[in-house]
């Protein structure tokens, strides 16, 4: 079971009509959108794709995202894997 601490949940402002921004940015602009820095695996000469939910800090991501989270009816975590200090969460959603 995936558990979140109250501090993690309170730092992520979520509403039923949260707008999602997913776009490619120059490295420096992407770093600003992500709170000032990017993970070391993102090349400084790249243009990373950043996903941002509402006013929350963004994050680099190559996955698929909905335009508005209100269209998601349910989310089920199907697998959690930790490898070399990185956590990968797999899930399924239903609109």
CATH (domain of 65): 3.30.980.10
Whether 4 has a pLDDT exceeding 70, the answer reads no
Percent of the chain with pLDDT over 90: 31
Question: What count of other Cβ atoms lies within 10 Å of the Cβ of residue 36?
Answer: 8
Q: How many domains does the chain have?
A: 1
Q: Is 10 a member of any domain?
A: no
Say what the alpha-carbon torsion angle 65, 71, 77, 83 is, to the nearest 10 degrees: 10
Domain that holds residue 88: 16-94
Question: What count of other Cβ atoms lies within 10 Å of the Cβ of residue 38?
Answer: 22
Please write the tens of the pLDDT for every residue from 6-18: 333 344 455 566 7
**pTM of the full predicted structure?**
0.57
Q: Is 80 a member of any domain?
A: yes
Please write the tens of the pLDDT for every residue from 22-31: 899 999 999 9
- Quick one: average pLDDT of 76-84? 90
């Amino acid at each position: 079971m995936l558990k979140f601490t109250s501090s993690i949940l309170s730092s992520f402002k979520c509403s039923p009509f949260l707008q999602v921004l997913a776009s490619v940015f120059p490295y420096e602009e992407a770093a600003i959108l992500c709170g000032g820095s990017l993970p070391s695996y993102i090349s400084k000469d790249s243009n990373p794709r950043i996903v941002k939910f509402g006013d929350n800090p963004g994050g680099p991501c190559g996955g698929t995202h909905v335009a508005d989270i209100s269209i998601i009816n349910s989310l089920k975590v199907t697998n959690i894997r930790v490898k070399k200090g990185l956590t990968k969460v797999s899930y399924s959603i239903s609109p």
